[in-house]
A and B are shown apart, each in its own frame.
Chain A
Amino acid sequence: MASGNFLQQYEKGEVRTAWIFIAPLLLIVGVFVLLPVLGTFYTSLFLDVSYLPEQFVGLRNYIDLLSSPDFWQALRFTLAYTVAAVTLEAFFGVMFALLLNEAFPGRGLLRVVILIPWAIPTIVSARTWQLIYEYTYGVMNYLVVNSGLVSERINWMGTEFGAFWALVFADVWKTTPFVVLILLAGLQAIPEDIYQQAKVDGAGLFRRFYKITLPLLMPVLVISLIFRTIDSLRMFDLVYVLTGGGPGGSTRTLSYLGFEAFANDNFGMGSTVSVVTFIVAFAITLVYLRAGKFSEQLK
């Protein structure tokens, strides 16, 4: 941004005004994000429960956490859930974006309709899915049984398998629109004459997709998947409403595990889970950013 002319002096008045303009933002982010983050790390080094005086325990909380099966289960679930949801979102996202990039009657309407799941508050959609998954009279079991897909009703919330996919579907429904929007912008940036040339050269519909569209779309796809991954890794509200972490604790995300500790007044352990959640999310983001750079170089 401020490139080159570093020899030029800054103007005192301008510098002061600039910092006055930025001060409110820095202050509020400092007090309500940075301070709590540091405070959370600090608290994670303490035995901090409501019924005992605070006591410094060093890394004990981390050792306890890493040796508890609950943590590994939550980590496994969070990762599996993220992979499943993000993969499906990429698949449906590409499919719908390709559709909405074509010229056909009704496209304007569909481009608006696709935003509806995104606009509905997550908790509201979670409650709606809860009703849809209801065992006896839910519409999901009505559909899968009456269409002959399965012979018996699926116990969506009572089995690990059912609960996992129930959560994934609800997430995919809610967040695919976001992926579609970003991909659509990416598609619109691909020049039309590349396709014309390919058509002249005799490349068919699917060949054009694999050879032109997909590679050119890759950078945008990676960006949208980074966003979705970061979001999925910290998922909380769907679990809270749909499964409450169950059955048998099998659908607790890392965020939910932290929330449970806080809700039980165990602030030391809650903070430890929170720090570890951040580290996991950060590590995965770094991996992704590397992959993103890599795909850009391929261009």
Chain B
Amino acid sequence: MTREEIIKSCLIFATGLFLLAFTLGPFIWMIWISLADRADFLVTGQVEYSLSNYRQVLTAHSLHFLDYLSNSLWISTITAIIVTLFSSMAAYAVSRMRFPGRSLVPLLILAMSMFPQISIVGYLFEMFSKAGLINSHMALILPYIAWTIPIALWINMSYFTQIPLDLDKAALVDGAGRMKVLYKIIFPLALPGIFSSALLVFIACFNEFLFAIMLTIDYTAQTLPVGIALFQGLHGEIPWGNLMAASAIASVPLVILTLIFQRYIVAGLMGGAVKG
């Protein structure tokens, strides 16, 4: 080995170790505390490990953890489905049909995603108050669709434009409608792109906090991030064990999803970033 190769190996080893500690440290600490019966064992030195925090979080009715979880899953899933439907229709039109304004629409939609959430949430609150929608699933699903659809449009567009236009023409000549072309031809071919946009939309909704805390009031509509942010102990002191168990349950599905589908997530992020 040359001197340069030795330096390089050392750098790789050190940076690799640092990366592991950096990324996994807080995550491991979360799991660790969730299994411990007390959070202050670094000072007191006494600790016992069990699954009782998980049992409490999942069974104690007053914590409403399962309500938050199911709200989050419903809202994120419904949003992802509707966004996928609408964004793929629009992406189809913009990337494969001729009409005046086809280059303007994507730019306009992209511009809409520039607005910070804070600059729409106040008015949404007043709007939904008048409509009696505050504290309903709808109060989150509707803004989430509008908030995530620009990125889904751009990701889907970047996949749709790679499919040869001749496929559409042949199908149209055979008498198929545009909708049929979209679902029979484009959808299957662009499935990886559509899947990665849906996945990113789901994750974004699952994580969203500002809309959720402004537009919901209690466990009938509050999502996991709100539940975890407002998680209170019965006696003032934060119940770290319970809280970290709840956090672990909230993150593990996303971590697993990310690890399994990392290829799609990376592709989606790149598609959105490069175009954006």
Contacts and interface: CB of A to CB of B under 8 A. Distances in A.
Interface of A: 1-2, 10-11, 14-15, 17-19, 21-22, 24-26, 28-29, 31-37, 39-40, 43, 92, 95-96, 98-99, 102, 104, 106, 110-129, 131-132, 134, 136-137, 139, 142, 173, 177-178, 181-182, 185, 204-205, 223-224, 227, 230, 233-234, 236-237, 240-241, 254-255, 258-259, 262, 267, 270-271, 273-275, 277-278, 281-282, 285
Interface of B, secondary structure class, is: helix
A14 B101 CA distance: 13
Contacts of B233: none
Contacts of B201: none
B23 A21 contact: no
Most B Cβ at <10 Å: residue of A18, A99, A181, A285: A18
A255 B228 contact: no
Contact of B210 (A102, A126, A255): A255
A10 B244 CA distance: 59
20 contacts: A19-B93, A25-B86, A26-B105, A36-B119, A40-B120, A40-B122, A92-B22, A110-B19, A119-B254, A119-B258, A121-B254, A124-B251, A131-B244, A173-B23, A205-B7, A227-B276, A241-B229, A254-B118, A271-B123, A277-B116
Contact of B120 (A37, A102, A124): A37
Contacts of A111: 262
B97 A104 contact: no
Nearest to A279: B119
Given A116-B27, A236-B210, A258 B99 contact: no
A87 to B, nearest CB: 16
Contact of A119 (B142, B228, B255): B255
Nearest to A21: B93
Interface stretch (B48-56, B58-66, B187-195, B263-271): B263-271
B73 interface: no
A137 B43 contact: yes
Interface of B: 4, 7-8, 12, 15-16, 19-20, 22-24, 26-27, 29-30, 33, 39-44, 85-87, 89-90, 92-94, 97-100, 102-103, 105, 109, 112-127, 142-143, 145-147, 149-150, 153, 178, 203, 206-207, 209-210, 213-214, 224-226, 228-229, 231, 240, 243-244, 247, 250-251, 254-255, 257-259, 262, 265-266, 269-270, 273-274, 276
A236 B85 CA distance: 30
Contact of A29 (B149, B209, B214): B149
A234 B115 CA distance: 10
Contacts of A24: 85-86, 89-90
Contacts of B147: 32-33
A119 B204 CA distance: 10
B12 A240 contact: no
A120 B118 contact: no
B26 A110 contact: no
Contacts of B142: 28, 31-32
A14 B98 contact: yes
Nearest to A266: B122
A121 B115 contact: no
B119 A114 contact: no
B247 A128 contact: yes
Contact of A131 (B90, B145, B149, B240): B240
A122 B207 contact: yes
Nearest to A96: B19
A177 B209 CA distance: 20
A204 B93 CA distance: 51
Which of B16, B114, B145, B228 has the most CB atoms of chain A within a 10 A radius of its CB? B16
B178 A259 contact: no
Contacts of B112: 29, 33-34
B225 A118 contact: no
Contacts of B87: 25
A15 B99 contact: yes
A234 B211 CA distance: 13
B154 to A, nearest CB: 12
Contact of A17 (B7, B97, B120, B231): B97
A177 B258 CA distance: 12
A240 B143 contact: no
Given A43-B123, A123-B228, A18 B258 contact: no
A125 B228 CA distance: 10
A282 B26 contact: no
Given A117-B27, A121-B206, A236 B244 contact: no
